[in-house]
Amino acid sequence: MKNKIGLHTFMAVPAFALYAVFFIYPLVRGIGMSLTDWDGIGTAKFVGLKNFMDFFQDPRALSDIRTTVLFAIGSTLLLNMVGLAYACLMNKPFRGRSLAIVCVYMPAIISPLIMGYIWYLILQPGRGFLFHLVDNMGHPEWFGNWMGTYGTTLIVLILVNVWQYAGMTMVVYLAGLQGISKELYDAAEIDGAGGRQCFRYITMPLLKPSIRINIVTNIIGSLSVFDIVMSLTGGGPGYQTETLSIYIMRMCYGSKTGYSTAVAMIMFIIVLIPVAVSLKLMKKGDAE
């Protein structure tokens, strides 16, 4: 027994070493750097919690938190709804099913930066493909200026993000659906259960592992969004749609490396909290 424990410990050493090198060390180094006013070149000067206090006193930074959180909430909800709908559709046999799955998943393997520029060429106010299309139809007012207000710009960003990554969510749900035995549905139908009842009492409970994976990955990806926002709006109009990731990048290039590291630490906590809460709620639901 002792030999087995020793062997297991020995086998875990490489994994722990990689974890320490690529996570623990950068995290500890980042915490130390966040307490300085280092500009990335000269000597770092210890300033304590000043960077964190400056962040919460910056209206632009607080606006970026609001934008990031709203984007994450909208994207996570829609990604799971659309992904589950796609999965339920693709779980049924029909001609061209494999091709349809590939078409839905294809946008997810394209660089989000490239995808953002493609959508910008399509949606660009006054010059984009969609504008010229409705203009040639004689109804340019149908298009409008989606970048004119904060609300419409944020909605477009969320929809583009959902369009690109719904395929990844679909694949996870599809794997979960294919793991549910058909005999359960047959038994439920014999007992008189309808489609809605089967979905509520069989499909959803057995999809909890897939739901957990998708929610966690979608929260992490949405809260750390960078490429799509940068290519579509650049954080505009003004800084209204700027996210924390873009804010960190701009502060770092603005010779505020210590400050940007402090913001990165704050962003790490912002990502960690909803992920931890989601996992706890789901585990509680599994126990019940």
In this predicted structure, the answer to whether residue 164 has a pLDDT above a threshold of 90 is yes
Q: How many domains does the chain have?
A: 1
Write out pLDDT tens, residues 195-235.
888 888 888 888 988 998 999 999 999 999 999 999 988 88
Query: Average pLDDT of 128-141?
Result: 76
Query: Per the structure block, which two tokens stand in for 276?
Result: 């931890």
- Do the domain assignments include residue 45? no
In this predicted structure, the answer to whether residue 107 has a pLDDT above a threshold of 60 is yes
What percent of the chain has a predicted confidence (pLDDT) above 70?
94
Max CA pair span of the chain = 81
CATH of the domain at 140: 1.10.3720.10
Q: What is the pLDDT of residue 69?
A: 94
DSSP letters, 97-126, are: HHHHHHHHHGGGGS-HHHHHHHHHHHH-TT
Query: Average pLDDT of 44-70?
Result: 93
Query: Per the structure block, which two tokens stand in for 39?
Result: 């500009």
- Do the domain assignments include residue 2? no
- Do the domain assignments include residue 140? yes
DSSP letters, 161-196, are: HHHHHHHHHHHHHHHHHHTS-HHHHHHHHHTT--HH
Query: How high is the mean pLDDT of the chain?
Result: 87
- Do the domain assignments include residue 7? no
In this predicted structure, the answer to whether residue 282 has a pLDDT above a threshold of 80 is no
Alpha-helical (H) ranges within the chain are 2-19, 25-34, 50-56, 59-90, 97-105, 112-123, 129-136, 150-178, 182-190, 195-198, 204-206, 208-223, 227-232, 244-253, 257-287
Write out pLDDT tens, residues 2-45.
555 566 677 778 888 888 888 889 889 999 999 999 887 888 88
Domain that includes residue 105, residue range? 50-287
Residue 65: CB atoms within 10 Å: 17
- Name the one residue in this structure whose structure tokens are 């990031």: 68
- Do the domain assignments include residue 8? no
Among 29-33, 181-185, 265-269, which is the least confidently predicted range? 181-185
- Do the domain assignments include residue 216? yes
- Do the domain assignments include residue 38? no
- Do the domain assignments include residue 86? yes
